[in-house]
C-alpha cells in the first residue's frame, strides 16, 4: 500500500494535470496504479453499500471491492452518488475507475461490464387487496402507474413495456431508492413498484402486505461497470471475480448479507411484527439489561428469545426446557437462574449463556460467524458444535465459517458421522434452521428498534475457568430443538 503522503502527492499531481487541461477537454482520472487508489462510484443501498447505525460502512459489493483493493495493493475510495444514473455517468466521464451499486447489466450503455456477481430477477410489486393484485400479463398493467428507481434495469424494462402498452404510466420519484419506494407502496402512497426480487424480499420483512403482481421478463445479472475502452483493469477485475466465485467468497458474502432473508414466510413475519407491538414492550428493559451485561446486541438476544419461545415466559417443552430462553434445568443451575419462568432471570441467563458459548469458540473465528456458530451451539451444545467442526475439517471445509458449517451440521444426525461423536447424534439441521431464523428476526428488529444507549452501561461479563467449564457442560446437555 502507498503511504498517506505518497497518496497525497499522487492526488496533487493528478490535480495539476487536470488543471492543465483545456476547457474543451474532459478530465480523466489517472490510472489506479499511479494514483494509488481505486475510485468507485456507488450509491447507498441496503445490499451493496450501506451505512450502519454505528457509522460503519459495509455491504456485499463494499466488502468484495475491499478484497479487490487488497489484491491490487491499492486503497479503495467509495464516492456515493444520489442514483445509479449519476454513478454510471461518472464512469463514462472518466471521474471514477468503475461503478458498483447493485447495477443490472445494461448493454445499451457505452460501458464495459464485469463478470456477473450474482443473478437477479425483476418484478412488479403491489399490495394485498389492491387493484388487480393477481396480474398475469402486461395487459393487466394498463392504466396503472409503476414507480421505479431512476437508472435501474427494472426502470428500463418498464419503459420497454410502456412502448408496447401505452396505457402503462411510469413514475420516477426523485432521490428514492428501492427501500423507500417499497415503503411508500406499503403505505398506499404508490400504485405499483418495479424492483428486483431481492429488494422485495427485504421489504417484505417489514411490510408483509407487499406481494409480487407481475414477473418482468429476462433475468439479468448484477455486475460492475467500467469505461468502454478499459482493458487492463477489466481483465484484473474479471480474474478477481472468477477467483472469488471459485473459492466461495461470493457465496459467503451473499449468505452474510442477503441469502438468509427468504427463509421466513409471510405468516411468520406478520406474527412477529404483531408481537413486536404486543409483547416486546413488556420485556425490552430486560433485553437492554442483557446487552449491558454481556455486550451482545439486545436485539439479537431478543431474536433468540423469540425463536425459542415467541417471547412467552411460561413456554415449556415436552423435553423439559422452559421459559423465555428455553433453558434446561442443568443450564439454569449453572447460570444461577433460580426460576426459569421469571422473564428477567431467563433473559439474563440466556444472554449470559450465549456470551459463554461465544467465548468458548477459538479466537480465530471472526464476527459475525462467531455469533452465528454460538447460536447454533445454543441449540446443540458446544460438545456437538466441536464435533461438527472436526467433521468439517475432515471434509476440507472451513470450520470457522458459518457458510461452510451450516452444510455440515445436518450430518450430525447421520449414523456414519454420529458414531464418531462423543456426544452422540444430534439434530444439526434444526440448529441451522434456528440460527437462520434468528438472523432474520434480528434483521427485522435492527431495522425497527433503536440500539441500546445507556448513560452508564454495566461492564460486560468476562468468563473465568469455572464459567467456561460450566458452559461446556451445560451445552452438552441441551439437545432440544427450538419451539
The C-alpha cell of 435 is what? 440460527
CATH classification at residue 161: 3.40.190.10
For this structure, is 278 an active site residue? no
Flag whether 482 is in a domain: no
* 252 and 276 co-located in one domain: no
In a domain, 483, yes or no: no
The values of phi and psi at residue 236, to 5°, are -70, -40
pLDDT at 418 over 90: no
- How far is residue 19's CA from residue 159's CA, in Å, rounded to a whole number? 40
Domain check: are 320 and 171 in the same one?
Answer: no
Strands 118-120 and 220-222: antiparallel
Contacts of 167 (CB under 8 A, 6+ apart): 142, 143
The Cα 169–Cα 147 span in angstroms is 9
User: Do residues 416 and 282 share a domain?
Assistant: yes
Average pLDDT, rounded, for the chain: 86
Calculate mean pLDDT across residues 329-353. Answer: 95
Residue 318, pLDDT score? 82
Residue 470 has pLDDT above 60, yes or no: no
pLDDT at residue 302, as a whole number: 98
Query: Residue 368 above 70 pLDDT?
Result: yes
Q: Specify if 196 maps to a domain.
A: yes
Indicate the DSSP class of residue 366.
P
CB-based contacts of 4, cutoff 8 Å, min separation 6: none
- Residue 293 confidence (pLDDT): 95
Q: Which residues contact 261 (CB under 8 A, 6 or more apart)?
A: 198, 201, 202, 205, 440, 443
102 and 84 within one domain: yes
Average pLDDT of the segment spanning 20-26 = 37
Q: Which residues of 195-223 are buried (b: 16+ CB within 10 A; e: fewer)?
A: bbbbbbbbbbbbbbebbbbbebeeebbbb
Catalytic: which of 61, 179, 289, 308?
308
Residue 160 belongs to a domain: yes
Tell me whether residue 349 is in a domain. Answer: yes
| Average pLDDT value for residue range 39-62 | 90
Shared domain check, 179 and 200: yes
Please give the full DSSP string across 183-246, using - where no structure is assigned. HHHHTTS-SEEEEEHHHHHHHHTT-TTEEEEEEPSS-EEE--EEETT--HHHHHHHHHHHHHHH
Which of 206, 230, 261 is the endpoint of a domain?
261
Contact of 355 with 290, CB cutoff 8 Å? no
More confident site: 58 or 425:
58
Q: Do 230 and 162 sit in the same domain of this protein?
A: no
Mean of pLDDT values over 128-152: 76
Residues 290 and 408 in one domain: yes
**For residues 97 and 40, is the Cβ–Cβ distance under 8 A?**
yes
Q: Indicate if 232 and 177 belong to the same structural domain.
A: no
Domain count for the chain: 3
**Could you tell me the three cell numbers for 60?**
456485499
Taking 60 as the threshold, does the pLDDT of residue 471 lie above it?
Answer: no
Q: Is the pLDDT of residue 475 over 50?
A: no
289 and 424 together in one domain: yes
Reported as a single tens digit per residue, the pLDDT across 182-197 is 999 999 999 999 999 9
Measured distance CA(355)–CA(166) in Å, rounded: 59
Range name among 10-14, 175-179, 185-189 with the lowest pLDDT average: 10-14
CA distance 204 to 198: 10
Q: Which domain holds residue 355?
A: 266-477
Q: Based on the number of CB atoms within 10 Å of its own CB, is 355 exposed (0-12), middle (13-18) or buried (19 or more)?
A: buried
pLDDT value of position 130: 55
Asked whether residue 64 is assigned to any structural domain, the reply reads yes
pLDDT tens-digit map of 205-248: 999 999 999 999 888 999 999 999 888 999 999 999 999 999 99
ω into 432 cis (within 30 of 0): no
Nearest to 192 by CA among 159, 214, 165: 214
93, 87 Cβ separation under 8 angstroms: no
Contact predicate 158/146, CB 8 Å: yes
Q: What percent of the chain has pLDDT over 70?
A: 86
Least confident of 257-271, 361-375, 451-465: 451-465
Which residues 6+ apart lie within 8 Å of 285 measured at CB?
none
Please report the DSSP string for 90-155 in residue order.
HHHTTSSSEE-SSPBP-TTSSEEE-S-SEEE-EEEEEETTSTTTT--SGGGGTT-EEEE-TT-HHH
Question: Using alpha carbons only, how large is the chain's radius of gyration in Å?
Answer: 25
pLDDT above 60: residue 442: yes
**What angle is formed at CA 32 by the lines to CA 27 and CA 37, rounded to 5 degrees?**
105
pLDDT band per the 50, 70, 90 thresholds, residue 419: confident
Grid cell digits, residue 96: 471514477
Q: Which of 160, 185, 218 is the last residue of a domain?
A: 218
Residues 386 and 450 placed together within one structural domain of the fold: yes
pLDDT grade for 25, boundaries at 50, 70 and 90: very low
In a domain, 303, yes or no: yes
363 and 456 fall within a common domain:
yes
How many CB atoms lie under 10 A from the CB of residue 70?
12
Grid coordinates standing for 343? 422473564
Q: What is the pLDDT of residue 455?
A: 60
In angstroms, rounded to a whole number, what is the distance separating the alpha carbons of residues 360 and 363?
A: 9
* CATH number where 288 lies: 1.10.530.10
182 vs 478, higher pLDDT: 182
Beta bridge partners of 49: 45
Same domain, 366 and 291: yes
Q: How confident is the model at residue 53 (pLDDT cuts 50, 70, 90)?
A: confident
201 found inside a domain: yes
Amino acid at each position: 500500500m502507498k503511504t498517506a503522503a505518497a497518496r497525497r502527492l499522487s492526488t496533487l499531481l493528478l490535480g495539476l494535470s487536470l488543471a492543465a487541461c483545456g476547457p474543451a477537454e474532459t478530465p480523466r482520472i489517472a490510472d489506479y496504479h499511479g494514483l494509488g487508489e481505486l475510485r468507485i462510484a456507488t450509491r447507498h443501498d441496503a445490499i451493496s453499500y450501506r451505512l450502519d447505525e454505528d457509522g460503519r460502512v459495509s455491504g456485499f459489493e463494499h466488502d468484495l471491492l475491499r478484497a479487490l483493493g487488497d489484491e491490487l495493493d491499492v486503497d479503495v475510495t467509495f464516492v456515493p452518488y444520489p442514483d445509479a444514473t449519476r454513478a454510471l455517468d461518472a464512469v463514462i466521464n472518466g471521474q471514477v475507475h468503475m461503478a458498483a451499486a447493485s447495477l443490472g447489466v445494461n448493454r445499451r450503455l457505452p460501458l464495459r461490464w464485469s463478470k456477473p456477481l450474482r443473478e437477479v430477477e425483476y418484478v412488479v410489486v403491489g399490495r394485498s387487496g389492491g387493484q388487480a393484485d393477481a396480474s398475469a400479463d402486461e395487459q393487466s398493467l394498463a392504466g396503472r402507474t409503476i414507480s421505479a428507481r431512476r437508472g435501474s434495469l427494472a426502470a428500463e424494462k418498464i419503459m420497454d413495456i410502456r412502448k408496447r402498452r401505452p396505457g402503462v404510466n411510469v413514475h420516477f420519484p426523485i432521490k428514492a431508492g428501492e427501500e423507500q419506494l417499497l415503503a411508500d407502496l406499503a403505505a398506499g402512497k404508490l400504485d405499483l413498484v418495479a424492483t428486483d426480487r431481492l429488494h422485495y424480499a427485504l421489504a417484505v420483512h417489514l411490510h408483509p402486505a407487499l406481494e409480487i403482481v407481475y414477473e418482468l421478463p429476462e433475468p439479468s445479472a448484477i455486475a460492475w461497470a467500467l469505461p468502454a475502452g478499459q482493458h487492463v483493469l477489466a481483465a484484473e477485475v474479471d480474474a478477481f471475480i472468477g477467483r472469488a466465485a471459485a473459492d466461495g467468497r461470493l457465496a459467503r458474502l451473499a449468505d452474510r448479507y442477503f441469502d438468509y432473508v427468504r427463509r421466513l414466510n409471510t405468516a411468520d413475519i406478520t406474527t412477529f411484527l404483531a408481537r413486536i407491538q404486543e409483547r416486546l414492550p413488556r420485556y425490552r428493559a430486560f433485553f437492554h439489561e442483557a446487552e449491558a451485561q454481556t455486550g451482545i446486541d439486545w436485539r439479537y438476544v431478543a431474536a433468540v428469545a423469540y425463536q425459542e419461545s415467541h417471547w412467552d415466559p411460561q413456554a415449556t417443552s415436552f423435553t423439559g426446557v422452559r421459559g423465555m430462553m428455553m433453558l434446561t434445568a442443568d443450564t439454569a443451575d449453572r447460570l444461577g437462574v433460580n426460576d426459569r419462568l421469571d422473564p428477567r432471570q431467563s433473559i439474563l441467563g440466556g444472554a449470559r449463556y450465549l456470551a459463554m458459548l461465544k467465548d468458548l469458540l477459538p479466537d480465530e473465528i471472526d464476527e459475525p460467524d462467531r455469533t452465528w456458530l454460538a447460536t447454533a451451539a445454543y441449540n446443540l451444545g458446544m460438545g456437538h458444535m466441536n464435533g461438527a467442526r472436526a467433521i468439517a475439517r475432515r471434509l476440507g471445509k472451513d470450520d470457522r465459517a458459518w457458510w461452510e458449517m451450516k452444510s455440515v451440521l445436518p450430518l450430525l444426525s447421520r449414523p456414519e458421522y454420529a458414531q464418531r461423536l462423543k456426544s452422540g447424534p444430534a439434530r444439526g439441521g434444526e440448529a441451522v434452521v434456528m440460527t437462520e431464523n434468528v438472523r432474520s428476526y434480528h434483521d427485522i428488529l435492527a431495522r425497527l428498534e433503536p440500539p441500546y444507549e445507556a448513560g452508564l452501561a454495566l461492564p460486560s461479563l468476562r468468563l473465568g475457568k469455572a464459567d467456561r467449564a460450566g458452559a461446556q457442560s451445560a451445552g452438552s446437555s441441551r439437545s432440544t430443538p427450538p419451539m
